[in-house]
Amino acid sequence: MKKTLSVALGIVALAAAAGWLLSAPGTVAGDRLAGLTPGNAEKGARLFWAGGCASCHAAKGAKGDDKLRLVGGVRLESPFGTFVAPNISMSTTDGIGTWSLADFTNAMVRGTSPAGANYFPAFPYTSYVRMPLQDVADLFAFMKTLPAVDGVAPGHEVGFPFNIRRAVGLWKWLYLDPAPVIAAPVASAGEVDAGLWDRGRYLVEGPGHCGECHTPRNAIGGPDLTLWLAGAPAPTGDGKVPDITPSSSGLGSWSEADIAYYLESGFTPEFDSVGGDMVAVQENMARLPPEDRAAIAAYLKAIPSD
């Protein structure tokens, strides 16, 4: 009996040690950062709008230049609690004005704070992990051109056990993956411009983080990639985020031109207009060059669907 108890305690101790190691916040190797060229702010601006940074980090309903005042405060409701977007302006007291490129990169692609804590995955680093580090450096260069805005956003409203940041490391171990979701266009897509499709895949799966809302999640909040972009319950439990696959229930009747025009203008082929949370997304996409919107459309029309 005594020996059995000792063995059991040993197994528990080993499991705890393994869990502690696996949950440790990760960082990007310094030599990978050292090889980057200085960030290009002009390229970074394109990534800023593709990534919809203003949608969460500017004040709710912000328009025009106010979209560049990244004071935070937008509330993101989920089944696990309410997360509040932080100040990511260049404020040195309340924002990220003191951050280095390493700090910014670790946050973006590892979900790790400068203090070495795991960020909650309400911050979509599971998508940003697909961004090349040079793109992250370009985005940071643009961010540094934006105004410093003082003001601390309210804290998250997340209860036990979901507020245990160390445990988020185990979640990241399961779901933080830089691999593309879709390996190649579906065969039925016909003649697909490979370069255009690749660009669309990058924008949708990476900085655009479309799957964060349009893909259903399991009981622990992990994305169900077998239903990629097939629609999901709205985070508030009221309504549904739509299917945007080429299926009949999604964008089956839309052409690539329809999708690109919707992202530019906010108007559907049925002469309806964009609404809800998608308004801010569409306004961001409208700032992209036409070739990026065309790439997104090409990708969405050439991915698997039911």
Residue 164 pLDDT > 90, yes or no? yes
Residue 24 pLDDT > 90, yes or no? no
Least-confidence region, from 89-103, 182-196, 255-269:
182-196
Residue 9 pLDDT > 60, yes or no? no
| Position 171 confidence tier, pLDDT thresholds 50, 70, 90 | very high
Q: How many CB atoms lie within 10 A of CB 213?
A: 18
| Position 236 confidence tier, pLDDT thresholds 50, 70, 90 | low
CATH 1.10.4100 is right for the domain spanning 187-300? no
pTM of the model: 0.91
pLDDT of residue 271: 85
Kindly report, residue by residue over 214-224, the tens digit of the pLDDT: 999 999 999 99
pLDDT of residue 4: 62
Kindly report, residue by residue over 37-71, the tens digit of the pLDDT: 999 999 999 999 999 999 999 998 888 999 999 99
pLDDT of residue 293: 98
pLDDT of residue 20: 45
Average pLDDT rounded to a whole number, residues 172-183: 96
pLDDT of residue 14: 45
| Average pLDDT over all residues of the chain | 90
